[in-house]
Amino acid sequence: MTTRTSAPSRIPTPIVARVSLAAWRHNFATLKAAAPQSKFLAVIKADAYGHGAVQAARALKEADAFGVARLGEGVELRAAGVRQPIVLMEGTFSHEELALALHHELDLVVHDETQLSMLEERARTAAAGTDPPRVVWLKLDTGMSRLGFAPDRARNAAERLRVLPMVGELRVMTHFACADEPDSSMTREQLARFELAIKEINPPVIGRGTAVSSVVGLANSAAILQFPSTHRDWVRAGIALYGSSPILGRSAASLGLKPVMTLCSRVIALRELQPGRSVGYGASWRATRRSRIATVAAGYADGLSRHLPSGAPVLVAGRRVPLVGRVSMDMITVDVTDLDDVRVGSEVVLWGDGLPVDEVAAAAGTIAYELLCAVTRRVAFEYF
Ligand SMILES: *Cc1c(COP(=O)(O)O)cnc(C)c1O
């Protein structure tokens, strides 16, 4: 077991994120099996959705590439000795970032004219002569309306990119807006627009030389698991690697995914309350019977959502009990009246094994992505 904590090491802390390397590899294998013909890019942006990017890269070392969102994330992985291709999935945002990305041998996404001109400008400078050729992903906007060239600009962008010295290989990508919905006409429309754009880029004219790019990637976790027609050359899996369901209305377990992070803490106090007594800030919850309330060392400063309402599920000593009262900075309170063996020190699971993070997220009115990314540095991480 290895650990990661911001506190001086070996100072005990009640709240711990236990990260299962076995579950990580299991989810990876499950997703690989769902798209067996495709190369696999493991998305480990945002510190691997809060799980630790360096540990993720080690646990998932059979991935063909890793995807990150920020230059610093890619540089951190390189500094830790990660040798696989690393894709900066939004590209770079300045000349300085571009130079650093090339220096650290990161692969680039190019999604707009600004980024394309920056590459062209760099190609005209002396520095360009020393740039090692990289994989460049040309990103197309097929309906997400966030990043990417319009399909009718794809041809022009591809032809300009492929003559640049630092573009060793050109690939084409897009990103789905609604792949989490089981019956999404949007996904079908995006796929159709993407295919048209690819035809534009690679007109099937005999004798015109090699295709500009025939390597493409579209599928996120949801598309990997429910739209096989999107798999193609590369898939990009994020959330499902961490054991959360990417599909609306489906549990992670029903998709064969296992929770990677179990966020655990302990009961630090217990009290009996008479009917009518309130609990916590704002006195938002009141006992309607004689109640036994456990105070747990976990709050929004650890990454719990303050939007969790009374009634949200918490596991105490392996059983589900309702949260009562407001989430505070360092504590929550739960109603353990119906359990008879809870004591100070009893183990509490906030999400993970026995309590899917998707359920906790739903109770907080959000998605597992947000809860996982929000775990703060105050929480100790244990990898086993
Ligand atoms: C984050 C991201 C993914 C992964 O999405 P999941 O829903 O977590 O699988 C894939 N592609 C791109 C471009 C992304 O930004």
The tens-digit pLDDT sequence of the chain (384 residues) is 666 655 556 789 999 999 999 999 999 999 999 999 999 999 999 999 999 999 999 999 999 999 999 999 999 999 999 999 999 999 999 999 999 999 999 999 999 999 999 999 999 987 777 888 999 999 999 999 999 999 999 999 999 999 999 999 999 999 999 999 998 899 999 999 999 999 988 865 554 445 567 899 999 999 999 999 999 999 999 999 999 999 999 999 999 999 999 999 999 999 999 999 999 999 999 999 999 999 999 999 999 999 999 999 999 999 999 999 999 999 999 999 999 999 999 999 999 999 999 999 999 999 999 999 999 999 999 999
Residues of the chain with CATH 3.20.20.10: 21-250
Q: Which residues does ligand 1 sit against, CB inside 6 Å?
A: 43, 45, 89, 175, 220-222, 236-239, 246
175 CA distance to ligand 1 middle (Å):
8
Q: Going by C-beta distance under 8 Å and a sequence separation of 6 or more, which residues neighbour residue 75?
A: 100, 104, 106
Q: Which fold has domain 261-383?
A: Lyase, Ornithine Decarboxylase; Chain A, domain 1 (2.40.37)
Ligand 1 centroid vs 324 CA: distance in angstroms? 35
Q: Which fold has domain 21-250?
A: TIM Barrel (3.20.20)
Strand 285-286 vs strand 319-322: parallel, antiparallel, or unpaired?
unpaired
Which two structure tokens, joined as six digits, stand for 67?
């995807």
Q: How far is the CA of 43 from the centre of ligand 1 (A)?
A: 6
Question: In the chain, which segments carry CATH 2.40.37.10?
Answer: 261-383
Phi, psi of 69 (to 5 degrees): -105, -30
CA-to-CA distance for 84 and 63, rounded, in angstroms?
A: 8
- Look up 45 and say whether it is catalytic: yes
- The DSSP bridge partners found for residue 109 are 137
| b/e per residue 231-262 (b: at least 16 CB within 10 A) | bbbbbbbbbbbbbbbbbeebebeebebbbbbb
Calculate the CA dihedral of residues 217, 222, 227, 229 and round it to 10 degrees.
Answer: 10
Q: Locate 194 and state its tokens.
A: 């993407």
